[in-house]
Amino acid sequence: MILKFFDWSRSNSPWGVHFCSGCCSLEVLALMGPRFDWERYGFMMTPSPRQADFIIVTGLVSRKVLPVLLRVYQQMPEPRYVFGMGACAAGGGPYWDSDFVAVDVSQYIPFDVFVAGCPPNPEATLEGLLRLKEIIKRDRENVARKFPNRMEEIQY
């Protein structure tokens, strides 16, 4: 009974970690400001991926940065959600034909919600985050959150 209460409260206040490597992160910062105030919808940022419900992937992900992104993703407890935004996260943006760009991040980690644009406006980003919140609520009713039992299960 208490675990159901915790899952309900977590689904109404999802915590995220921001993996920023590009200019779309400025739009995420706009959401935190007084005009859009995403905290009134329950969204919070956490400095640790081990406490996060979702990860926001913005900007270009190079091949050198990709292992760091995968490590952050693996450190998140199950169920974990991915919110992608911007043309660079989807397909490399204007740098798609460069040799060092990991062209499509969704080949490595699955996007639950993606907002297109270069950069997407804050209204579209907030709408996508609210859609992600509904997905989290739906999943939390059916699946309990699983935390890694041992440190060896998390790859560094």
Q: Where do the structural domains in the chain lie, given as residue ranges?
A: 1-138
Q: How many other C-beta atoms can be found within 10 angstroms of the C-beta atom of residue 2?
A: 6
Along the chain (156 residues), what's the average pLDDT of each consecutive run of 10 residues?
68 82 80 87 89 89 86 90 87 73 79 89 90 87 54 42
The domain defined by 1-138 folds into Rossmann fold (3.40.50)
Residues 6+ apart with CB under 8 A from 90: 84, 104, 105, 106, 114, 116
Q: Give me the pLDDT at residue 74, please.
A: 92
Look up tokens 């992160």; give the residue.
25
What pLDDT score does 33 carry? Answer: 86
pLDDT tens digits along 51-89: 899 999 988 888 888 889 999 999 998 889 999 988 878
pLDDT of residue 60: 83
CA angle, corner 107, sides to 89 and 71, nearest 5? 80
